[in-house]
Amino acid sequence: MMQNINKAIEFQVTQNIGETGDIGDIEHENLLKPEKQNGENKHSGSANTDFLSSVFEWIELFVFSFSLVLVIMTFAVRHSPVIGSSMAHTLEEKDILLVSGIMYEPKQNDIIVFQSPNVGYDEPLVKRIIAVGGQEINIDFSTWTVLVNNEKLDETYVNYEEGRSMLSSNMQFPLTIPEGYVFVMGDNRNHSLDSRNSMVGLVNERYIIGRVIFRVYPFDKIGPVE
């Protein structure tokens, strides 16, 4: 009988050890699971950090680009509208132009935007330079002939009016342009207030905003201006 009791005790101990081993395996697996979850969380957190970093980089790039364009538009290139028909048909009213004034030196045939103290500073004027400082200009109004240093200009851009003389005014010709000044006229000669009239007269280079380099509106006429 004691033998049977000993066998029963041995069986029970063996059974308990087996069960304890199973529990230990389960607990070991449970201990490993949080480590895996922590690794997955770390990977997810790293991905989010990379995404936010990329977003901030794009924002910084956008802000920098916008600031650069703003500086260029403020100091290097400006926009100016065309008011009136004095430059038709080269430029039309309400055209929008880009004007560059950085290191600008006036040259004959340039189209410029400038201000006139007599006309007022509110409306910038758009005209073509016909003569610069040191040159002599003479005009035959009956034949629409313009001479600079006794050479006839080939003015294919002028809006001629057949059967009519070019509009004259109170400036006397021939006229030598002093240094630091330019003589300007609109391409639509009979509908332009320009250097032929003493109200505008010779344009002091200090009042030149810049040279017209590009037309940005209307969209079907976008391009360089000559």
Domain positions in the chain are 1-78, 82-224
Under 8 Å between Cβ of 177 and 133: yes
pLDDT at 22: 47
The fold for domain 82-224 equals Umud Fragment, subunit A (2.10.109)
3 state SS of 103: coil
Query: What's the whole-model pTM score?
Result: 0.69
Reported as a pLDDT band with limits 50, 70 and 90, residue 20 is very low
Distance CA 194, CA 72 (A): 30
Q: Residue 208: in which H helix or E strand, if any?
A: strand 208-217
User: Which pLDDT tens digit goes with each residue over 107-134?
Assistant: 999 999 999 998 887 889 999 999 999 9
**Residue 49 burial (10 A CB sphere; 0-12, 13-18, 19+):** exposed
- Residue 184 DSSP SS3: strand
Task: Tell me the pLDDT of the chain averaged across its residues.
Answer: 82
Cβ neighbours around 208 below 10 Å, total: 21
What is the reported pLDDT for 46?
Answer: 67
With 80 as the cut, is the pLDDT of residue 17 above it?
A: no
The rounded distance, in Å, linking the Cα atoms of 139 and 185 is 12
Given a cut of 90, is residue 65 above it in pLDDT? no
Mean pLDDT for 41-68 is 73
pLDDT number for residue 13: 39
Quote the strand ranges of 44-194, DSSP E: 77-81, 96-100, 111-116, 120-132, 136-140, 145-148, 151-152, 175-176, 181-185
- Whole-angstrom distance, CA of residue 3 vs CA of residue 103: 116
pLDDT (0 to 100) of residue 97:
96
Percent of the chain with pLDDT over 90: 60
